[in-house]
Structure 1
Amino acid sequence: MAGAQVRATKEVAAEVELADRLDLGRPRALVLVVRPGVGRALTKLLAALLAPSCPVPVVITDAVPSWIGALDVVFAHTDDSADRELAAGIERASRYGATVVLSGPQDGPVAASIAGKGLLLAPRMPVPPELTFARGFAAGLLTANALGLLVADLEALADQLDAEAERGHLGRDSFANPAKALALRLADRVPMLWGLDPAAVAVAEHAAYELGAFAGVVCDAADYRQAKARPALLRSALGGGEQDIFADPDFDDAGLKPRVLLLAVHTGQTADATRHEASHTLPGAGVIAPADEIAGPEPVRAGVLALRFELAAVYLGLAAGSLGGAGQYAPATA
């Protein structure tokens, strides 16, 4: 339902006249408030997409800063309607005249803190909080579009998310299902997801969250350059990559081996050079670059990659029995 979430968010934004109400001229700063859940990675992804050409400072913070003022715009995504820290921050921002855009539930203390003083983009369909990345991402992109800080095609994003969901459908075999194929690559391994660019790093962090949320899998998510700065882990990655095709589980040492996947969202000469260098350093690592499969700008490629990891995490959770049982989400929910 990722594509549907994007379209529904776009409809809500039109109803609350988001574009008109954010037609305020260039803000002093865009403040992205990070909250637990999918909001942590999606705010970092938004900042990564804005960074190359954004004419205003983009501030990532866990709480609304004390210096907030009338010339600032605040954006936050939450699925916790009772997040009192966020509610207090939104109330303070509104009191000092800042423009607030909230992607979150329409009931509870958080929604009450914005009532009449900001813009609430509430969900239109019931989706587990672990699967609201598409909705929050769409809300952030719409906010950036309205402020003139970014140009993102939300309809193209929704279409490609629909296509990715179709490719990842349960009825498709793994050779034609990128989500199943990804799940098989990560099964019985320690995933190491190393991003080759800031947007890919943000998606890697989202993937790590999803793997933990649905499959109970511990995952390392890092910038590739930072990963290289950890010698012991790098040596482990070099010794446990995909090149070990003759491994025999009956004689191998106990313990899971690492699986390194290099993620790439950016394209161009610099991105290609980084990818070549990383592949040379880690010859056994897999590379996942949506640009190799689909045509579309960076927000679309990042959204597709995030959804693929969500679906893979759900498949791993179903296989491990951490989904579908008592008190858990039914498979159809995903």
Structure 2
Amino acid sequence: MIAVLDDSLLADPAALAEADASGLLRSAATAGAQLRSAAHAAEEAGVGQLAGSRPRALVLIRRPGCSEHAALLVNALLGPECPIPVVISDAAPSWIGPLDVLVAHTSDSGDRELADSVGRAVHRGCEVVLSAPAEGPIAAAGAGSARLLEPRVPVPPGLDFPRAMAAVLVTVAALGLLRADLNELAGELDGELERDHPSHEPFVNPAKALALRLADHTPLLWGTDPAGVALAGYAVATLAGHAAIIAQAADVAQAARAGALQRVLAEHRQEDIFHDPFDDPVEASGGSTVLPAPARVLLLATEDTDPTAAVLRRAGREWPTADVLHLVEEVPPGGPHAALRRAMLMAVRFDLAALYLGLAGAVLGSDRDPAGHNYSLG
């Protein structure tokens, strides 16, 4: 049979709470608190003292986890008009020196490669903003020199994206590149988390509604603007990490050039009453026959521009079968830092949607394929 998620599980807070033995939903609900605590830590660490400086380069270190996605999103928000070069690297470049600023985030206190990068940057007089645990080789490498933002709200790895974003945002704000009030942004995240609360029914819970739209499909997450593309990459990671769902992230223009449009439109032919859904069965473990999850295109938009117009301009045609995620009700057009605010709200929504899908899968039990999709095989 075709994959079917029992949506009644998402409407049952007690079942979700029972499945959430590790308290992941509670951890995800700390997004606003992560921003506030990081802002306070940055103030105490003196990140604001970078104000007025114009570094030769801003180096954003990407390590396993959320740091890469935070670096890519902030770089997309800064855009090509950023007055200083932004370098995203796995390690401190060989040319790092006193004219540069380096930002690094990790939840792994034992990351030796990052410790080496921090030590090299500090030794060469580079300004270092470090978001990392206070104990371990990384903090030791920056001791006395790096501006350390110690985590004050403990969360499992994979749910620290707000803290990773905060480390970069406080730095670019101090440098005058992108100013945003983290406390106000934290309040907006609190509002999103309230809407996404497990006690709310799916029809009034945006995260549950998103989960239901993605369930039993292969999500194709295509950004209509640079920040939307970066956010799509994060969404793919959180869906894989929390729900074992394989998804694709792409720029909508690149997806169109790659021929993805034609493939997706071909899949939608199955809506034809003469389409046989058993044309391409897949054999699951144990010899059971299941169907490949159909694609679902979701366009992610963060800018004020109407997503339909953006797709037409960048891809050369409209995408009538696609869903659109564009939080203009939560963040009305024309407001300050609208793209950043929408991106952060969407990141939180994807985290909760992935957790709901993962927890619902845990309630369902073992009817799961290796890609993490839930199947009813009756």
RMSD: 2.4
Deviation at 1:45, TM superposition (A): 0.3
Larger-Rg structure: 2
Aligned equivalent of 1:47: 75
**Structure 1 residue 268 displacement after superposition:** 3.8
Following superposition of structure 1 onto structure 2, how do residues 191-270 of structure 1 map, counting pairs within 5 Å? 191-231=219-259, 233-240=260-267, 244=271, 253=280, 254-268=291-305
Structure-1 residue corresponding to 2:35: 6
Deviation at 1:25, TM superposition (A): 1.5
Give the corresponding residue for 1:331.
Answer: none
Task: Give the match's secondary structure for 2:180.
Answer: coil
Q: Which amino acid aligns with 2:310?
A: T
* Structure 2 CA distance for aligned equivalents of residues 242 and 86 of structure 1: 49
1:318 aligns with 2:359: yes
How many pairs are equivalent?
Answer: 322
Cα distance change on mapping 1:256 and 1:249 into 2, 3 Å: farther
Amino acid at match of 2:218: V
Cα shift at 1:251: 5.4
8 Å CA contact retained: 1:279, 1:285: no
Q: Are the counterparts in 1 of residues 252 and 311 from structure 2 also a CA contact under 8 Å?
A: no
For residues 56 and 316 of structure 1, the distance between their equivalents in structure 2, rounded to whole angstroms, comes to 41
2:320 equivalent to 1:283? yes
Aligned positions of 1:1-334 closer than 5 A:
1-20=30-49, 22-23=50-51, 25-231=53-259, 233-240=260-267, 244=271, 253=280, 254-268=291-305, 273-277=309-313, 280-295=317-332, 296=335, 297-321=338-362
Q: Is the 8 A contact 2:270 2:277 kept in 1?
A: no
The one-letter amino acid paired with 1:273 is A
Q: Using the TM superposition, give the Cα deviation of residue 298 of structure 1 relative to its aligned residue in structure 2, in angstroms.
A: 1.9
> Does the CA-based 8 Å contact 2:103-2:130 persist in structure 1?
yes
Q: CA deviation at 1:322?
A: 8.6
Q: In structure 2, do the counterparts of structure 1 residues 251 and 4 end up closer, same or farther at CA, with 3 Å as the change threshold?
A: same
Q: CA deviation at 1:279?
A: 9.8
Relative to 1, partners in 2 of residues 1:94 and 1:26: Cα closer, same or farther, differing over 3 Å? same
Contact 2:55 2:84 (C-alpha < 8 Å) held by counterparts: yes
Q: Aligned equivalents of 1:310 and 1:159: distance in 2?
A: 17
Question: Aligned AA for 2:160?
Answer: T
CA distance in 2, matches of 1:247, 1:94: 66
CA contact (8 A) 1:75 1:140 kept: yes
Normalised to the residue count of structure 2, the TM-score between the two structures is 0.80
Identity of aligned residues (%): 49
Q: Structure 1: which 5+ runs fail to align?
A: 326-334
Flag the structure with more relative contact order, 1 or 2, with Cα contacts below 8 A and sequence separation at least 6.
2
- TM-score of the superposition, structure 1-length normalised? 0.90
Q: What secondary structure sits across from 1:129 in the alignment?
A: coil
The amino acid that maps onto 1:141 is L
SS of residue paired to 1:225 = helix
